Structure 1
């Protein structure tokens, strides 16, 4: 029986799961120059193997993941929201730039998509290569815009900070971020860390295609606990921030889920703890603020490749009142570090953007 050096899979977006791809890749284990070719237009679903492949390829192209074995041609608009422009039409259909008949045909199909809403999804998926779903979800912040705000050093000494925490279930990722506001420069500065169980690191690295060992070595991630994450380690990490960085913690914003015991401990240690309700009406101001500040270049973050990957995973959705928020279920990977930043920024939004002075003289557990 001969095994194939090369396999080709067409219309991968129509697959329900990636088992056929994984099976073909596994069959090539002992082959030399093994090659797989995946081809597909977009589909009316975000839950298919091709969306995963496109997201992974985009991270490689954005230098978030190092994979010299991958070659990708992604014909899609740089900005999916701008699908009505001729620029986006050419980006998704480069041959139309030299084939006038094709361009006119596509323009006609675009007009039809506007006049007949029922044909819009077909136009977006088959002619614009935009994956669509029932929800209006989109990339939260483009990687190239985020990276413009990266800094390599920052003197935290004496800075007032709000700390944001996204404490996970015992086997999942946890994140802590501290954010300060520089009144003189009118900019925010953030630093973030992730925490995972040590025994999960190897498997998570394979499944998520993120080298957590390198992230740990670079100080972006901590391994704590064995099979389950050590909440005590995370609690102590937060308690040590003032001593280690010389900051002044104004308050700790947290999601109530899995965090009540930790919040009580921080409160007992003398810190103001504020529950950030994970509801679009509460998260929208911070979500909007971070995005606007990043695009304006006034939201700096300390160099952190894992944080950049978290941002590239994040997907923003709108509720019925047009409030935007980062939806974990719609996101394409871990976003815990982003959520922890948003929890901290919800507090800064109240104090700076809404001109509400923080006043915790009568200490109590506070809920936003």
Structure 2
């Protein structure tokens, strides 16, 4: 704090010390806020990308989720389809009456590629698959028949309002989902740039820092949470990124997209005028 004056000559004049304390506290909790605070308030240059999720806070959000309790419940999906040889993710977000959001993820990966990467990168795909956290499809390319069948099973099981997707690669299953009865207007193209990603990414950060996010401690999603970085543009907008190609973040990208639908198209609170009408004075 004694050094703040060096980067803020107007501290206690036009720059509030109270605001500095508030931003400093947030920077301690949030890696992305830390980067912003260092650059804009302390004039300390940092790399443009910074690890985004505070894993201690993320771990505090783990809670047992029984999918039986979610049958028929309103939810929003986010699908990040991979190339033919990579991880595909579908993450569903369930708004709860308590104001919290429950997260249910699904992951798929080609079995041959998983074993190769396990040996090369030390990522325990086989153990995760045996425990049911990720599904391996036979061969060295993703089996979209299995992916589509699993998505359709979830559509029948849960009250999926809409599904967000990155338009890249989605054509591989879009028409097939339509043919199976998923309304085309329920599949929402979701941009991957700063303009589309920043708001739901910031919302996700608020939710997990305040423990209003519930996840079931899926180790695949946890691993992706540890990999995701925030790339920031000059205006302070952020989008998800990663430092290395081996650090997968598909599940977090899917979660951000699903949350984007939940906060923009979710049920609105009824106006008081619907109940009482307009009072004339």
Q: What's the TM-score once normalised by structure 2's chain length?
A: 0.75
- The answer to whether 1:322 aligns with 2:233 is no
Aligned to 2:275: none
**Which residue is equivalent to 1:252?**
163
Select which of 203, 209, 214 maps to 1:295. 209
Distance 1:356 1:185 in 2: 14
Deviations 1:198-235 (A, max 9, x none): 11122211233211011111211011140111122111
Matched ranges for 1:1-368 at <5 A: 132-133=46-47, 136-154=48-66, 155-182=69-96, 184-243=97-156, 246-271=157-182, 272-328=186-242, 333-352=247-266, 355=268
State the Cα distance separating 1:350 from its structure 2 match: 0.4
Offset at residue 349 of structure 1 (A): 1.6
Gaps of 5+ in 1: 1-76, 86-113, 122-131, 358-368
In the other structure, the counterpart of 1:92 is none
Can you list the C-alpha shifts for 1:314-351, whole angstroms capped at 9, x where unaligned?
00111132211111456871001111111211111202
How far the C-alpha of 1:78 sits from its partner, in A, is 8.9
Q: How many residue pairs get matched?
A: 232
Question: How far apart are 1:177 and its partner, in Å?
Answer: 0.9
Contact 2:65-2:215 within 8 A present in 1 as well: no
- Alpha carbons 1:208, 1:333 under 8 Å: kept: no
Between the aligned partners of 1:159 and 1:311, the Cα distance in structure 2 is: 25
Asked if the contact 1:285/1:349 (under 8 Å) is kept, the reply is no
Runs of 4+ in 1 over 3 A off after TM superposition: 77-83, 328-332
Measured after TM superposition, the shift of residue 310 of structure 1 is: 0.3
- SS of the counterpart of 1:240? helix
- d(CA) in 2 for partners of 1:320 and 1:188? 31
Contact kept, 8 Å, 1:177 with 1:191, in 2: the verdict is yes
Measured against aligned partners, the alpha-carbon deviations of 1:114-173 in whole angstroms (never above 9, x if no partner) come to 7xx7xx56xxxxxxxxxx53xx22121111110111112332122111111100101111
In 1, Cα distance between equivalents of 2:253 and 2:121: 18
Report which structure shows greater RCO (CA 8 Å, sep ≥6): 2
What TM-score, normalized to structure 1?
A: 0.58
For 1:82 and 1:240, the matched residues in 2 are separated by: 41
User: Equivalents in 1 of 2:136, 2:173: separation in Å?
Assistant: 18
Deviations 1:18-52 (A, max 9, x none): xxxxxxxxxxxxxxxxxxxxxxxxxxxxxxxxxxx
Gaps of 5+ in 2: 1-27, 271-281
RMSD between superposed Cα atoms in Å: 2.6
Residues 78 and 255, structure 2, Cα contact 8 Å, conserved in 1: yes
Check whether the contact 2:72–2:159 (CA below 8 A) recurs between aligned residues.
yes
Greater radius of gyration (CA) = 1
CA distance in 2, matches of 1:318, 1:289: 16
More off after superposition, 338-347 vs 265-274: 265-274
